Structure 1
């Protein structure tokens, strides 16, 4: 994280980009646990302890992630859609990814609600696949937004819309 700079000029887009950096920082903590469980880096008791920690990190991740995606869906996508169209194309696929990510995380949380004290390692490995998929989907998702949607927005938005979007997005996600 240290030393990362924001690439975009528009203040509204910089807010979203900064949120991506923050969320990626949070994701790094829980993704390390996923990889360690998948790669048999823990003995069973340590795996169970880290698995519980993983669940807690995911729970803590949900609120800022949902706040971020809600801001995109409520303000950014509809405004950009006025310029580039909304019914098909990149915005629609990006919104679908939001639902896909929610499903992965929701599935993991649902199946880890009870009984974590007796989970065998093989079951933990099976369950962490969901958050591993969520990590990969989010990572690619952020890249798509930063290489397609954000540059598009900087290119097409009028100043009055840029200012209004900045006012709408200028809220914290934590």
Structure 2
């Protein structure tokens, strides 16, 4: 896929920039999960503790980003699309899927607690990897299709309204 050469308005550019920041965190999370898979012994437990911290912080940042999309951008785009269009429904479904994987990771990690063993660290880390896989595809769809669509579809007034919503 070739990169879009659309110049985005400030609120859409903000969402793009947030993707860049979130991807850096995703790369770090992925590296830690790879290390957990390759290492053994006490290192795995230390790595898992680091993974838990990273995923917790990432989850909070992702939720803030998703809220801007779900409460601002998505409803605005939905008003322009036909009643039978499933674009926004699909985007929201992908948000839910990624959030569920992260929630499963955090829940299982908390259940395991400080007594977590190597095996548990390995299988619980898989939830984080599943979330990253979902988000990687999701971000690509938003950047290649949804954001350019919004840029072309939304009026200047709507973009300004979106900007104001994002400042709150």
TM-score by length of 2: 0.90
CA deviations on 1:118-174 (whole Å, 9 max, x unpaired) are: 333222221111100001111111001001100101111111111111121235xxx
Q: Once the 2 structures are TM-superposed, how far is the Cα of residue 86 of structure 1 from its aligned partner?
A: 6.1
The structure where helix makes up a greater share of residues is: 2
CA-CA distance at 1:110 after TM superposition: 0.8
* 1:108 and 2:105 correspond: yes
**Distance in structure 2 (CA, Å) of the matches to 1:98 and 1:9:** 22
> For residue 14 of structure 1, what is the aligned residue in structure 2?
13
CA change 1:76–1:70 in 2 (3 A) is: same
Q: Deviations over 1:46-102 (max 9, x none)?
A: 110000110011111111110110111001000011112466421111100111111
SS in 2 for 1:43: coil
> What aligned pairs does 1:83-98 form with structure 2 within 5 A after superposition?
83-85=80-82, 88-98=85-95
| Cα distance, 1:141–1:11 mapped onto 2, change above 3 Å | same
4+ aligned runs moved over 6 Å, structure 1: none
Matches within 5 A, 1:25-174: 25-38=24-37, 40=38, 42-85=39-82, 88-170=85-167
Q: 1:86 to 1:10 in 2, by over 3 A?
A: farther
| Secondary structure, aligned partner of 2:7 | coil
Cα distance in structure 2, aligned partners of 1:86 and 1:60: 37
Structure 1 residues 140, 68: closer, same or farther in 2, change over 3 A?
A: same
Aligned residues: 164
Structure 2: 5+ residue runs without aligned partners? Answer: none
C-alpha separation between the residues in 2 aligned to 1:122 and 1:132? 16
TM-score (norm: length of structure 1): 0.87
Gaps of 5+ in 1: 1-5
Tell me if structure 1 keeps the 8 A contact 2:32–2:51: yes
Name which structure has the greater RCO, CA cutoff 8 Å, separation 6+.
Answer: 1
Per the alignment, in what secondary structure is the counterpart of residue 69 of structure 2? helix
C-alpha distance 133-118 of structure 1, shift in aligned 2 (>3 A): same
